[in-house]
């Protein structure tokens, strides 16, 4: 690819992201689920016809994938690479630019998101950082020269009953910059597997309509026993 074509491609991508409505849709879709066009329209506070035009641009630009079931149009982030791009750009924007509480309800929602949330398919916020720090402290995760599971870390996942699906193009672990904590949390295959297990085992439950998750009493016990994380770090 020539430098000119690279520059043109980067400019097109920047143009797709340089719209508040489209940015709001991409941030919402970081929950890893498929949303209908009408749900995203309500979330972004725009008319359905306006939202449809924005979604068309995001799909054409390769940032979203879509499917239709009956009269409903569902969209989701195209892949984990798009999720990484959105999350890291949000981190560079800064929490003050992303979270703008308007009243008590919005402030509470912002606090819940900062406490614990999903970032596409892995844990983020203070919860994600607490898990990442605990793994590193116990020698299960190396963080000195990029993220890497140690042999003990691989064994820990197996002992905890968390399957690591290898063989794809996705890295086993990678660092994802957290936009509220401004530090990297665990992502990649291991991060996704841990998040999936946490939700399936009832360690965490989703709360509200955003990406926020809450650690349950079962989760507090499990994280304390498996990683030594005290309850205070999860609240």
SS in 3 state form for 219-232? Answer: HHHHHHHHHCCCHH
Q: What is the mean pLDDT of the chain?
A: 86
DSSP 101: -
Residues 28-65: tens digit of each pLDDT? 898 888 899 998 999 889 998 999 999 999 999 999 99
Q: Looking at per-residue confidence, does 113 or 96 come out higher? A: 113
107 pLDDT band, cuts 50/70/90, is very low
**Domains, the chain, with CATH or none:** 3-78 (1.10.10.10), 82-234 (no CATH)
Separation CA 139–CA 137 (nearest Å):
6
Structure tokens, 83 = 């999720």
Instruction: Decide if 167 contacts 208 (C-beta within 8 A).
Output: no
More confident position, 93 or 13 = 13
pLDDT band at 208 (very low <50, low <70, confident <90, very high): confident
Helix axis angle, 125-137 to 104-115, nearest 10°: 20
Tell me the DSSP string of 111-161: HHHHHSEEETTEEEHHHHHHHHHHHHHTTSEE-BTB-EE-HHHHHHHHHTT
In this predicted structure, the answer to whether residue 101 has a pLDDT above a threshold of 70 is no
Query: Model confidence at 99, in pLDDT bands (50, 70, 90)?
Result: very low
Which of residues 173 and 103 earns the better pLDDT score?
173
Cα–Cα distance for residue pair 221/164, rounded to 1 Å: 23
In angstroms, rounded to a whole number, what is the distance separating the alpha carbons of residues 67 and 162?
30
């Amino acid at each position: 690819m020539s430098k000119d074509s690279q520059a043109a491609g980067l400019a097109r991508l920047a143009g797709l992201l340089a719209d508040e409505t489209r940015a709001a849709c991409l941030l919402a879709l970081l929950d890893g689920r498929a949303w209908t066009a009408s749900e995203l329209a309500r979330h972004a506070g725009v008319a359905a016809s306006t939202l449809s035009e924005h979604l068309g641009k995001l799909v054409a630009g390769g940032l979203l994938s879509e499917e239709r079931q009956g009269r409903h149009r569902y969209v989701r982030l195209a892949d984990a690479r798009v999720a990484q791009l959105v999350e890291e750009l949000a981190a560079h924007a800064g929490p003050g630019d992303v979270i703008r509480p308007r009243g008590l309800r919005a402030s509470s929602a912002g606090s819940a998101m900062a406490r614990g949330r999903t970032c596409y398919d892995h844990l983020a916020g203070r919860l994600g950082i607490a898990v990442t720090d605990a793994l590193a402290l116990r020698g299960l995760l190396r963080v000195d020269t990029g993220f890497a599971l140690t042999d003990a870390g691989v064994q820990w996942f197996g002992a905890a009953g968390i399957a690591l699906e290898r063989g794809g193009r996705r890295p086993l672990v990678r660092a994802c910059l957290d936009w509220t904590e401004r530090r990297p949390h665990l992502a990649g295959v291991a991060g996704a597997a841990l998040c999936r297990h946490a939700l399936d085992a009832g360690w965490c439950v989703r709360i509200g309509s955003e990406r926020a998750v809450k650690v349950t009493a079962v989760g507090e016990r499990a994280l304390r026993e498996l990683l030594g994380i005290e309850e205070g770090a999860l609240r």
